[in-house]
A = this chain, B = another copy of it.
Amino acid sequence: MKIALASVNVLLGDWEGNLKIHQARVKEAAKAGAELVVFPELSLVGYSPLDLMSRPSWAASATRQLDSLHAWLEREFPQLGVILGTTFSVRSESLAPRGIANCAVFLCGKTREVRAKTLLPDYDVFHEMRYFDSASGLGEEYRAPISFGGKKLGILICEDSWEEMEIRGQRIYRLNPTEHLARQGCELLVNLSASPFDRHKRERRRAAIAADAKQFRIPIVYTNHFGGQDDLMFDGDCFLMHSDGTLGPQKLEANNDLLVFDEAKTAPKKNVTAVSELAGLEKMLVTGIRDYCWKNGFQKAVLGISGGMDSALVAVLACQALGAENVTGLIMPSKFSSSHSIEDAEQLARTAGFHHHHVPIKMPHATMAMGFKPFFTGLPDDTTEENLQSRLRGVTVMAFSNKFHALALATGNRSEFAMGYATLYGDMCGALAPIGDLFKTEVYELARYLNRQRAWIPLRTFTKPPSAELRPNQTDQDSLPPYDLLDACLELLLDRELEPNDALPLLQGEFPQADLALLERIHRSIRLSEFKRKQAPPILKVSQRAFGPGRVYPLTCHY
Contacts and interface: CB of A to CB of B under 8 A. Distances in A.
A368 to B, nearest CB: 5
Interface stretch (A147-155, A164-172, A212-220, A274-282): A164-172
Contacts of A536: 535
A551 interface: yes
Given A57-B502, A425-B398, A403 B379 contact: yes
A57 B499 contact: yes
Contacts of A498: 55-57
A305 to B, nearest CB: 15
Interface in A40-77: 46, 48-52, 54-57
A127 B498 CA distance: 23
Copies of this chain, whole number = 2
A396 interface: yes
Contacts of A391: 394-395, 398
A295 interface: yes
Interface stretch (A341-349, A359-367, A442-450, A469-477): A359-367
B170 A230 contact: no
A542 B522 CA distance: 35
A357 B367 CA distance: 17
A51 B402 CA distance: 36
A556 B359 contact: no
A512 interface: no
| A17, A357, A375, A394, most chain B CB atoms within 10 A | A375
Nearest to A129: B129
A418 interface: no
A99 B168 contact: yes
A434 B229 CA distance: 31
A296 interface: yes
A383 B402 CA distance: 7
A420 to B, nearest CB: 13
Interface stretch (A90-98, A178-186, A202-210, A451-459): A90-98
Given A395-B392, A398-B387, A55 B497 contact: yes
A558 B13 contact: yes
B559 A52 contact: yes
Given A230-B555, A391-B395, 18 more contacts: A11-B557, A11-B558, A12-B554, A49-B554, A51-B552, A51-B553, A99-B170, A130-B130, A228-B556, A229-B554, A296-B531, A359-B375, A363-B367, A375-B400, A382-B402, A384-B403, A391-B394, A392-B395
Given A170-B99, A364-B364, A553 B130 contact: no
A interface bracket (residues with beta carbon within 8 Å of B): 35 or more
A230 B554 contact: yes
A39 B225 CA distance: 48
A319 B168 CA distance: 45
Contacts of A388: 395, 399
A489 interface: no
Contacts of A538: 534, 555
A559 to B, nearest CB: 4
A106 interface: no
Interface string A1-34: 0000000000111100100000000000000000
A77 to B, nearest CB: 27
A11 B12 CA distance: 38
Interface in A164-202: 167-170, 172-175
What 6 pairs across the A-B complex have the smallest Cβ distances? A12-B557, A129-B129, A384-B402, A14-B558, A13-B559, A384-B403
A51 B530 CA distance: 13
Contacts of A12: 554, 556-559
A173 B57 contact: no
Given A95-B174, A367-B363, A229 B556 contact: yes
Interface stretch (A116-124, A243-251, A307-315): A116-124
A360 B367 contact: no
